[in-house]
Amino acid sequence: MELVISLLLPIALVIIMFSLGLGLTLADFQRVVLRPRAFLLGAFSQIVLLPVVAYVLAILFRLPPELAVGMMILSFAPGGPSSNLMSKLAGGDVALAISLTGVTTLVAIFTVPVLTGLAADHFMGIEASSVDVTSLGLSLALLTLAPVAAGLGLRYARPAFALRLEKIVSRIAVLFFAGVVIWALASNWSIFTDNLPTLGPALVLLNVLLMALGLGLARLFSLSLPEGKAISIECGIQNAALGMTVGTLIAGGASALPAVSLPSGVYGITMYLVSIPIVLWMRSWRSAAAAA
């Protein structure tokens, strides 16, 4: 189990980040300037609204301190690479989704360490292990920025090859991460089952609320339906691998999946069970509009 936590989980995150980089181009970052309103609303929903909703739910469901911190770490994580595929399936604005995923991933390198330290102090107090913000930031840079930059560089130098490789790497990343999550949860089955009655509903509600709020805000600010779908999905699909990895890093060499990583591990499964039916429902909106 220690091998899964200390080695295979970071490898899974690196593969996921490399696949994300393969799907990015410099134009994805330029859209931040060219289409500021949709991007800023999406970034606000991801970076500000999501942690606020997660905090409220952690309080309402009275989560134990470590699980509350873990839920907050999950909310600090950027959108997952699979959100781009989900946006395409739903008929959303894929270009906006890719831009949001890419930029929020880079921003997370700086925000996650600081916010994680604040969350640990707030919920765990003197019981919180000292979070070394600098060390955590450097670790995240190595595990996220470096592979994203490598993928982006390959996409720039060999675009055709990168696009072919992306399909293979993204599938490997999904299978690799799924295997790590299942193994980690199975090895901590008693902790998982003891907390599932409280943690499960809180995470499912977080998923549903954020997707609904994303659509609602897009409508309130008169964005297009595809833009609203992209923002909604970006809020609902989180980088659970990053959340689990941050939890293990602050736990200090845990030999088993620490409690602070459990919310991300569970969300890595439930977010697809919740999001896929909603995405298929969104897809039907496009079909209905076309039929009309």
Q: Within 10 Å of residue 150's Cβ, how many Cβ atoms?
A: 15
| pLDDT given for residue 290 in this prediction | 45
Domain contains 292: no
> At residue 238, what are phi and psi to the nearest 5 degrees?
-105, 160
Domain contains 144: yes
Domain contains 115: yes
Model-level pTM?
Answer: 0.84
DSSP 72-117: HHHHHS-B-THHHHHHHHHT--HHHHHHHHHHHHHHHHHHHHHHHH
Instruction: Name the amino acid, one letter, at 174.
Output: V
Q: Within 10 Å of residue 36's Cβ, how many Cβ atoms?
A: 11
| pLDDT given for residue 291 in this prediction | 46
Would you say 262 and 71 are in contact if contact means Cβ atoms under 8 Å apart? no
Tens of pLDDT, residue by residue, the chain (292 residues): 555 556 677 787 788 888 878 877 777 777 677 778 899 999 999 999 999 999 999 999 999 898 999 999 999 998 877 788 788 888 888 888 888 888 888 888 889 989 998 998 889 875 555 666 677 778 888 888 888 889 889 988 888 888 888 878 877 877 776 776 677 667 667 767 777 788 889 999 999 999 999 999 999 999 999 999 999 999 999 988 888 888 888 876 555 677 888 898 888 888 888 998 999 899 888 544 444 4
Question: Rounded to whole angstroms, how far apart are CA atoms 21 and 213?
Answer: 28
C-alpha separations of 24 from 39, 95, 175, 176, 289 in Å? 16, 10, 21, 21, 30
Beta bridge partners of 79: 238
| pLDDT given for residue 58 in this prediction | 95
Domain contains 29: yes
Would you say 279 and 86 are in contact if contact means Cβ atoms under 8 Å apart? yes
Number of domains in the chain: 1
146-157 helix and 94-124 helix, angle to the nearest 10 degrees: 170
Domain contains 288: no
Give all strands (DSSP E) within 29-114, no chain letters. none
H runs (alpha helix) in 221-261: 225-236, 240-251
CATH number at residue 96: 1.20.1530.20
Domain contains 258: yes
- Which H helix or E strand runs over 237? none
| pLDDT given for residue 202 in this prediction | 95
Structure tokens at 110: 């700086």
Q: Within 10 Å of residue 11's Cβ, how many Cβ atoms?
A: 13
| pLDDT given for residue 70 in this prediction | 93
Domain contains 263: yes
Domain contains 9: yes
Q: Which domain range does residue 193 map to?
A: 2-283
Look at residues 196, 182, 188, 192 and name the one whose alpha carbon lies nearest to residue 9: 182
C-alpha separations of 270 from 23, 83, 178, 266 in Å? 25, 14, 12, 6
> At residue 79, what are phi and psi to the nearest 5 degrees?
-65, 150
| pLDDT given for residue 179 in this prediction | 72
Provide the terminal-to-terminal Cα distance of the chain, rounded to the nearest Å. Answer: 55
